[in-house]
């Protein structure tokens, strides 16, 4: 975090020694600062400098359901200056999307169940040889998106270009830190003013419900999908860490958005063991318009799932007695069960399913 220490001013007894840092997402010209009083127990003190005074507030305590294994606290984020927020797609998402948006480098859910199979942990450009974790967060989100958007949609020369966004491909837009940082919320507010053509909000988190009204407004201006990963119907999977968020809670969140008239989809990616496939299919049918089912042998971006096989994911399944779930034979069997309940047109598969956007 960009910070400077201010020593005690001469001639002023009892002046507070403070640390000041620029607000992560704010404009430099505003000269607003966050002030942390080092010795005081009160939450608001006066800063003995010329900067504007901001109250010090403790980060909002997460709800019990949000207390998941994380790798960074909101007050210890490494802030990253970014010249562009939009990354051109390639490979898996290229057919359906023009760009991805990732507000963070790495992911705070690395210690949860989804961190054991996350495909992004195999990207050397992100990890740089480090263990999978949350490494940093981008700043100046609104300003950067505004600039990127205008290049695409309001170019000085030529015609406007399509803008189909997948958010996010290598992190989660609703990490626990988002409850205090509000970066995704700020970006959605900017998108209401500058809407893309397509936006998929891909998350594991029920925190997305906080922004339902903003998402509803934006969904009236573009093709927007609330997409939550629900890999299994099991609240605990033997041999694996606990979920970042309960599968039942994620299904309830999808149903909430669907009731509000917002497109919803569940991604079973990768498909994990199911306790009751037909019962789960019924829950999915009520919660979302469609589902996308995937298997690491199809969707981890490597031949025969070699990336996933380098992790302990397959070994964990085998040791827990779920060896058959590592095969494509079981995968297609479950796909057929899901299609029998939801209808074949609502059950999409792997790459083709993820890229099935842009039809209006």
Q: Which of 18, 41, 58 is the last residue of a domain?
A: 58
Q: Report the predicted TM-score, pTM, of the whole model to 2 decimal places.
A: 0.79
Contact yes or no for 76/59 (Cβ under 8 A): no
Q: What is the pLDDT of residue 35?
A: 31
Say yes or no: 287 and 217 in one domain: yes
* Strand arrangement, sheet containing 3-6: 3-6, 18-22, 33-37
Is 359 part of a structural domain of the chain? no
Whole-number pLDDT of residue 270? 96
End residue of a domain, out of 15, 40, 58: 58
Task: Return the half-sphere exposure (C-beta side, CA atoms, 13 A cut-off) of residue 302.
Answer: 12
Domain that holds residue 256: 64-354
What CA–CA distance (Å, rounded) separates 162 from 332? 35
How many independent structural domains does the chain possess? 2
Same domain as 191, residue 99: yes
State whether 225 and 313 are in the same domain: yes
85 lies in some domain: yes
pLDDT of 77 reads 78
In the structure encoding, which two tokens stand for residue 5, read together?
A: 């220490």
Residue 336 domain flag: yes
pLDDT at residue number 24: 43
What is the Cα–Cα distance from 296 to 287, expressed in whole angstroms?
24
* Domain presence at residue 51: yes
- Domain annotation covers residue 360: no
d(Cα 246, Cα 136) in Å, to the nearest integer? 26
pLDDT at 65: 40
Same domain (yes/no): 82, 4 = no
Whether residues 93 and 239 fall in one domain = yes
The answer on 39 and 68 residing in a single domain is no
pLDDT in single tens digits along all 360 residues of the chain: 333 333 334 444 443 333 333 444 444 333 333 333 233 333 333 333 333 323 333 334 444 444 444 444 545 779 999 999 999 999 999 999 999 999 999 999 999 999 999 989 989 999 999 999 999 999 999 999 999 999 999 999 999 999 999 999 999 999 999 999 999 999 999 999 999 999 999 999 999 999 999 999 999 999 999 999 999 999 999 999 999 999 999 999 999 999 999 999 999 999 999 999 999 999 999 999 999 999 999 999 888 998 899 899 999 999 999 999 999 999 999 999 999 999 999 999 999 999 999 976
Question: Is 153 exposed, middle or buried (CB count within 10 Å of its CB: 0-12, 13-18, 19+)?
Answer: middle
Residue 345 inside a domain? The answer is yes
In a domain, 202, yes or no: yes
Position 76 scores a pLDDT of 74
**Same domain as 237, residue 127:** yes
- Which of 58, 80, 107 is the last residue in one of the domains? 58
- CATH number at 209 reads 3.20.20
Answer yes or no: do 115 and 188 share one domain. yes
Q: Is residue 194 part of a domain?
A: yes
Say if residue 45 is in the same domain as residue 129: no
Q: Residue 212 has which token pair?
A: 């339902």
Burial of 226 (0-12, 13-18, 19+ CB in 10 A): buried
């Amino acid at each position: 975090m960009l910070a400077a220490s201010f020593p005690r001013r001469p001639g002023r007894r009892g002046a507070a020694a403070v640390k000041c840092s620029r607000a992560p997402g704010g404009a430099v010209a505003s000269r607003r600062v966050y002030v942390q009083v080092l010795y005081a127990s009160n939450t608001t003190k006066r800063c003995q400098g010329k900067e504007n005074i901001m109250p010090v507030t403790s980060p909002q305590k997460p709800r019990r359901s949000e207390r998941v294994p994380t790798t960074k606290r909101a007050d210890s984020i490494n802030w990253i200056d970014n010249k562009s927020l939009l990354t051109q797609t390639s490979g898996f998402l290229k057919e359906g999307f023009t760009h991805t948006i990732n507000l963070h480098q790495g992911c705070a859910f690395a210690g949860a169940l989804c961190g054991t199979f996350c495909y992004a942990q195999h990207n050397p450009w992100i990890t740089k040889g480090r263990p999978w974790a949350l490494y940093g967060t981008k700043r100046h989100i609104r300003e950067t998106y505004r600039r990127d958007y205008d290049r695409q949609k309001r170019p000085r020369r030529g015609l406007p270009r399509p803008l189909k966004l997948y958010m996010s491909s290598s992190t989660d837009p609703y990490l626990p830190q988002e409850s205090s940082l509000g970066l995704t919320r700020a970006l959605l507010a900017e998108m209401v003013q500058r809407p893309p053509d397509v936006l998929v909000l891909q998350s594991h988190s029920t925190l997305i419900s906080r922004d339902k009204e903003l998402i509803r407004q934006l969904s009236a201006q573009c093709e927007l999908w609330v997409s939550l990963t629900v890999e299994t119907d099991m609240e605990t999977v033997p041999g694996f860490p606990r979920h970042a968020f309960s599968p039942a809670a994620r299904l309830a969140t999808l149903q909430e958005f669907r009731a509000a008239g917002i497109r919803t989809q569940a991604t079973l990616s990768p498909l994990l063991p199911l306790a009751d496939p037909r019962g789960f299919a019924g829950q999915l049918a009520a919660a979302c318009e469609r589902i996308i089912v995937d298997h690491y042998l199809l969707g981890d971006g490597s031949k025969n799932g070699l990336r996933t096989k380098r992790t302990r994911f397959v070994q964990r399944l085998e040791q827990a007695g779920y060896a058959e779930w590592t095969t494509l034979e079981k995968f297609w069997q479950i796909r057929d069960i899901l299609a029998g309940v939801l209808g074949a047109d609502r059950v999409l598969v792997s790459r083709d399913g993820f890229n099935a956007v842009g039809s209006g």
